[in-house]
A and B are shown apart, each in its own frame.
Chain A
């Protein structure tokens, strides 16, 4: 047993994909000209007042319900006071003692099976602007387009015990958020951001070790790698009898290390107090029920349905539902051709090999219709498995139909037994040593000869048939 155990908690910040900002009517579109999506309210000009965007609240409730959390019926905001140039009012409107949601959980798959990772709280707040430091001169520029974009903070309990679990948690959480269609969940554009808290302790101990916060995590891979690095670092320190200091460290993705954040240590006192510019309002059970009714099928439910309706394994169902778009692609294909297992294998194999990132399935050049045409040809025995993969490769590049490619490339399976026999004979004649190896009982010799025949047919022969005919011919040569 490992003498040390890691304790990890994760804070996720999610920009909600509402049309307008949380407290004003400005657009939330990403990538616009700096400061083109601002108004006196999100610039924090004196005299302006916030007005809550009900859509942002609705999205927050959706997330809370999807995470099985309990919703605080009295919605109240607080001011978090601190000075920074990207915060135009020098306070952030957030939620402090009464977050939108408390409790809840995310189910993850671990080596020991399913595990519930508890959620501590989910709260709404406004995003800050962006500070751009110029390199060529000692100056910084401010872009307030992001200022006031609705932000949902989702804080887990420190229930995670390994980098792998942390990765599984963020992946599962992101899948839920994508299914809810409440955010673009795009880490590169910053619409999804993660910070982790990690400490180590003696296995079996109930006390928590000194925790370190890791920031600057720009991918889920970085979440995992940084935790691997940091856990090792902390264990090494303890082994050497050194102390782990409570601090914030930044992940350096180029060097694969965490480094202490170079900033002065301020004892932050955010002086939270209730935001007097917004009146608390009460959510009725009816309003919550209406949002509940609007919830789509979530990944966990979809996994169960895929297992039940398509007889898929947990693993297959998990992969196919990891991205909403991927599961939609799968289901669209199954609707056209009732071969759920075959389609699952093809999507998880050749298709994902081509697509690389499952999120890009929407932009994949082969539609479910075309994929099914190809698989139908395979099912009819018109082409071999090998040929089908070749056809798919061409389809991806040329966007042609599988039939056009099969004909042009002569990939239709050889039906002519005479032609196949001729090629088998050639293979036997060209490889006398292998043939005698075969007769001496060397199994691999058979495989080699099949390969030689397949090569001559350019993959267009049925390997089963080749196997059968080759065996017969080899028996003949024995006599």
Chain B
């Protein structure tokens, strides 16, 4: 493939979007898929989505390039994104950041290879172990007792894991975490590279690190080998669109291998809506990102100050930085601990939606998280603050009896792939203690597994599941949709 960059396009261009515009204006007669033919085939569909959107919903063709083998406008758009993110190469991903994370793991590991990762990774990472057969070496992420949230990765813990597993192929890091906690990426990259391990960063919530001022260091700037970036989360593209970045440290051969791995799981009918949205979002980020994220931080800082004045809530900030497991904090995140008003985060999350018409990102047992972006206005921020004031006035309880959440250190008995594909039988959850789980249980959001395939089920895990259910958390992952029964590995 031609590696030369097209010098005719700059960050002011959006090559895919421009090509789509041109294509529509050419009024090409459609004898290809999609069958709705620009919306003419279904009036209801057109009325619902709007004519323009359906006209743009086209399939790959010569003048629009092909995501599986990009040579023209998609290549240009990916190259511009690589340039904007300071990466060697960039792949547009249309099957969610889940696919980007799975591609990283599957590119770095083959069956039986070890990979070091914190246990509080997104389920997509552990799912990739089920698919490719790699074996996890989990690092206990540590817990902030006051907040009940998992922290970043401590360099010391990583060094220890490397010493014990020098044959591991890669380290996967969650940076920032959903709550905005960052690890010492630069140091981790240094340690990993010294030991010939790849550094893969799940940067799903970190798009803004590449564009804002005074942000924690981004994966590419820290020298990581690969990063999965959910542009749709804080970067403004459409839901499910994402990018996968390769750093300067990887060679061309590896980049081509990554493309092959992507094509194992990526749709061959990649949506032009998603790709054009990535293209336009990258352009906006390049041109206006600094300003956008300045505004975002201002909103978040204001909200934190006002919420902390309400009392009973703790909207945390840089004071939780400890130079190790909390190496840095992402100030755009509005994470609020709700313990002192005697309500679980998930309860506040539900009340906000059901009583006040305010949808926030998630609530866990002790915290809620509101996503703030440049798209917000002070009016909505005021509504959130005022609703929290009302919830405290009307619903607050004595905090006694709140679950003292601790990190549940999993005991991995069998590799995830082996456990998932072994003979299993379904047993009631309450009778499963001591058995090996054959599937996942997770509370969603944030989608971090409570239990993964191959791990030993304990009384502690069962009581955590009960408590999360009681507080209204949405549990999922088991074959049994009600999460009453669990598939356990039949031991021979």
A joins B in a complex: no
Which residues of B are at the interface with A, using a C-beta cutoff of 8 A?
none
